[in-house]
Amino acid sequence: KAGVTQTPRYLIKTRGQQVTLSCSPISGHRSVSWYQQTPGQGLQFLFEYFSETQRNKGNFPGRFSGRQFSNSRSEMNVSTLELGDSALYLCASSLAPGTSSDEQFFGPGTRLTVL
Amino acid sequence: SQQGEEDPQALSIQEGENATMNCSYKTSINNLQWYRQNSGRGLVHLILIRSNEREKHSGRLRVTLDTSKKSSSLLITASRAADTASYFCAAYTNAGKSTFGDGTTLTVKP
């Protein structure tokens, strides 16, 4: 079974631009969560989607948004990029949250650099 | 301080020795999960322990959970150089929100 895939793996943008990152969960997984990892703030939860609905949201500004499609693939968007948005963005999938099958499996991440 | 803090921040041991990492959290949890990360790559899931469990084993890994102290520990026995990585704990609430600690950087010297 293929793991969680994220595209692109690396991205360079300039301040003010917007970016869209994509995540394909493990086949059969319906929950997708996004995280931001930076040296200064560590791993921070962005949001979680389940069955195309945002189930949880972390403490990030509205410039960070996401969505989930009917095939459980998810995208996150960051608008008006700032230098501080440079980070490794990780996506994780699980079968269903809050059940006995809620182990999360992470993708390799997208390394975003904002210049 | 943040929920899901690891202790120590860095640990250096010789191959064959055991490594113990601790994690503390602040609120009630549904489960706690441990992950390994190699050099800025994705996280590898190691083990999940539920709030009603006290101990769990997986190969050379042993995880304990003390909900009264809101703490967990990860023990890696007979460590190998390939175990060199950063280890994170993540506390998951019943609402499904997760909070990760800052991680413990483990170096295993051959």
Kindly list the averaged pLDDT for each block of 10 residues, start to end, along chain B of length 110.
69 96 92 90 91 96 96 97 95 84 93
Q: Do B31 and A102 touch (CB under 8 A)?
A: yes
Which one of B25, B27, B39, B97 would you mutate to disrupt binding with A, by most A Cβ within 10 Å of its Cβ? Answer: B97
pLDDT exceeds 50 at position A90: yes
Q: Do A43 and B40 touch (CB under 8 A)?
A: no
Give the residue from B95, B107, B100 showing the smallest Cα distance to B72: B100
Q: Do B96 and A56 touch (CB under 8 A)?
A: yes
pLDDT of residue B2: 38
Residues A112, A110: Cα–Cα separation, whole Å: 6
pLDDT of residue B39: 82
pLDDT exceeds 60 at position A36: yes
Q: Per mean pLDDT, which range of A7-11, A77-81, B3-7, B8-12 is the poorest?
A: B3-7
Chain B: closest CA distance from residue A98 (Å): 6
| SS3 at position B98 | strand
pLDDT of residue B50: 93
Residues B32, B97: Cα–Cα separation, whole Å: 11
Cβ neighbours of A99 (radius 10 Å): 9
Contacts of B39 in chain A (CB under 8 A): none
pLDDT of residue B97: 80
